[in-house]
Amino acid sequence: MLALVRELSPKIMTCAFAADLSDPVSGPEVVEQASAGLARDQIDTIISNAAPNATNNLVNVESITKKDFNFPFTDSTWASL
């Protein structure tokens, strides 16, 4: 996917890596990995396009807890801050 993005617009700088954004101390590691992946000293914006989804385990909708259902929404919101 990254190769396709670079092919479409060579001016777009992008990198990809896995990180646990639900862990509040992961921020500095994410910035470090992004800086290394982009070969840059400064990062203007980091965009996370994925969040954990409690329903990935094919849990019956009648048995999923409110906490598990809300986790992807909460995690995505707080991770971006």
pTM above 0.75, yes or no: no
| Integer Cα distance of 2 and 6 in angstroms | 6
| Integer Cα distance of 37 and 24 in angstroms | 21
| Integer Cα distance of 28 and 46 in angstroms | 12
Per-residue pLDDT of the chain (81 residues; tens, 9 = 90+): 788 888 888 888 888 888 887 777 888 888 899 999 999 888 887 776 666 655 555 667 778 788 877 777 777 776 666
Helices (H), the chain: 2-8, 27-38, 66-79
Determine contact, residues 40/33, Cβ cutoff 8 Å: no
